[in-house]
């Protein structure tokens, strides 16, 4: 390109608009069989939470019946739910997670 020439700018119609994907909450549900220790282990392993954060969420699940584990794009939230359910079934627990749009 010669001196003084500029690259052509893309018109506003040609520019690709990027948007943030919608986010989804991963919720863990209380049950009468899954141990508190297992819930804390899963929260730490799957959601990468600290000891104190995992214990806080576990207590919310225990006392309120539901705990918010994290917020992610749909595909990641779905993968986390599947991982929790797989770990729970292997350990013999009926632990359940769900996804809710934020």
pLDDT of amino acid 3: 60
- Can you list the alpha helix ranges (DSSP code H) found in the chain? 36-47, 51-64, 74-91
The answer to whether residue 4 scores a pLDDT higher than 90 is no
Task: Compute the C-alpha angle 95/100/102, nearest 5°.
Answer: 140
Token digits for 23?
Answer: 């986010």
The helix/strand/coil state of 8 is coil
pLDDT of amino acid 9: 55
Q: Torsions phi, psi of 47, nearest 5?
A: -105, 0
User: pTM score, two decimals?
Assistant: 0.80
The answer to whether residue 1 scores a pLDDT higher than 60 is no
List strands edge to edge, sheet with 66-73.
66-73, 23-29, 96-101
Q: Among 7-11, 43-47, 57-61, which stretch is predicted with the lowest mean pLDDT?
A: 7-11
Mean pLDDT of the chain: 90
- Of residues 10 and 82, the one with the higher pLDDT is 82
Over residues 37-53, the pLDDT tens digits come to 999 999 999 999 999 99
The domains located in the chain, with CATH, are 32-101 (3.30.1390.10)
pLDDT of amino acid 10: 53
């Amino acid at each position: 390109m010669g001196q003084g020439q500029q690259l052509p700018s893309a018109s506003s119609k040609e520019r690709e608009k990027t948007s943030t994907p919608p986010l989804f909450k991963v919720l863990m549900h209380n049950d009468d069989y899954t141990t508190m220790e297992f819930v804390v282990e899963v929260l730490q392993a799957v959601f990468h939470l600290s000891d104190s954060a995992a214990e806080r969420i576990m207590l919310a699940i225990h006392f309120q019946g539901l705990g918010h584990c994290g917020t992610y794009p749909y595909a990641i939230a779905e993968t986390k739910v599947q991982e929790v359910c797989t770990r729970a079934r292997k350990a013999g627990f009926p632990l359940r997670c769900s996804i809710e749009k934020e």
